[in-house]
Amino acid sequence: MKKTIPTFIIALLLSALNALFSQDLDDTEKMLQELSEAPGVSGYEEPAAQVFMKYLKPLVDELQRDNLGGVIAIKKGTADGPRVMIDAHLDEIGFMVKRIDENGFVKFFPLGWNFSQQLLDHRVIIHTRQGPVLGVLNTGPDIAEDKIIPRADMWIDVGVENRAEAEALGIQPADPITHESKFAVLNNRKFLLGKAWDDRIGLGVIIGVLKNLIKEKHQNMVFATGSVQEEITLAGAKTTVEAVKPDIAITLDIDVTNDLPANTSIDYAQPVLGKGVVIILHTAEMLPHVKLRQWVQSLAEELKIPHQFMLEEGGGTDAGPIHKWNLGVPTLDLVISQRYYHSANGIIHRDDYESTVRLITEIVKRLNKNTLDELVFKPLK
């Protein structure tokens, strides 16, 4: 006699499995999850901008946009103090549709830089005007193990038979493409897995700072900005800085770690996860303002805020165009370390997020007109 498992037992088993793999997230984790999972490649940042503004709205006095889609939030202090710009970029690395071949395979173009060997067998989402379309990024069989496949030999398979079927799904040239990757809290709860930490974690830091400033007095005009198109041209920083006209600027981004088995010999990648906010000493785009960097470093030492240093030999961030605006803006680049940057699945550390939020909160609290006068160079008389 064949025995069947009662339906209610199956339901209980499924419920137990769901409970095993589900996670109870705190408010910060929920916020970071929403930022990480929001789609928003360069030039198509609006979904990420909407999430950012949702969290900003109850924390600031005013919300504005620039003409490229950048977000500018204004938080007024108790006095007419320095105009402080805190910037992170909205966009993530991804792709855009280049063409569809006769068999319905989608050829793509990268938006932002990534490693070719990290792309194969990744699920992606094509964001069409008719809605999202799931696909897998791949290439042909029998690949030599020692061969790096160029992007030109890759395609996205959306599971159709021909071009007409793909077009019926709404796919067309210039549609943005993001990695399909979910946020997760890892086994040590301080390790957070997700896509687009570059630079959604910077947006999360800004939200954390503004939450703190609800309870803290300061004398400054704080301009919290989410810029666009950082990954391709740094264009958004050029428009937001023009709108804000800051006296001083702090930019936020991510960079590599030196806590991986393969990276221990890389000189410039000094930071490791969990050891604090990283103060950048050099990039190809900018040397930080020396007086500002030394003041912030002294502040971190005084308050015992965990911090690290990094001398980046190449690269660049929004700090590049911001510090060159008008007669020059004293600018400092602060970053959060990330394992596997510019990939579909990056790992950051909660402690690094917290130390960055705390340091920037203290910068805003301590800064005033007198402090700014000590930091900037005086004009000749």
Q: Which CATH number fits the domain that encloses residue 277?
A: 3.40.630.10
Range 307-325 average pLDDT: 92
Rounded to whole angstroms, the Cα distance separating 17 from 9 reads: 12
For the chain, what percent of residues have pLDDT higher than 90? 78
Pairing of strands 221-227, 83-89: parallel
Do 212 and 359 lie in a common domain?
yes
Please, what is the average pLDDT of the chain?
Answer: 92
In a domain, 22, yes or no: no
- In the prediction, which pLDDT does 199 show? 94
Q: Which of 179, 203, 231 is the last residue of a domain?
A: 179
- In the prediction, which pLDDT does 6 show? 58
- For 226, phi then psi, to 5°, come to -115, 105
User: Domain with 136 in it: what CATH number?
Assistant: 2.40.30.40
pLDDT at 200 over 70: yes
Angle at 219 between CA 49 and CA 214, to 5 degrees: 50
Determine the structural domain holding residue 117 and report its residue range.
95-179
Rounded to whole angstroms, the Cα distance separating 87 from 105 reads: 38
Do 215 and 361 lie in a common domain?
yes
Q: Which of 125, 151, 179 is the last residue of a domain?
A: 179
Do 273 and 252 lie in a common domain?
yes
| pLDDT 10s digits, 176-194 | 999 999 999 999 999 999 9
Question: Is 230 noted as a catalytic residue in this protein?
Answer: yes
241 touches 235 (CB < 8 A): no
Do 166 and 44 lie in a common domain?
no
| pLDDT 10s digits, 206-264 | 999 999 999 999 999 999 999 999 999 999 999 999 999 999 999 999 998 888 887 55
| pLDDT 10s digits, 324-344 | 999 999 999 999 999 998 999
Range 292-301 average pLDDT: 97
Do 256 and 350 lie in a common domain?
yes
| pLDDT 10s digits, 150-160 | 888 899 999 99
Do 211 and 253 lie in a common domain?
yes
In a domain, 2, yes or no: no
Rounded to whole angstroms, the Cα distance separating 295 from 170 reads: 53
The number of folded domains in the chain is: 2
- In the prediction, which pLDDT does 12 show? 56
Active-site pick, 92, 180, 230, 285: 230
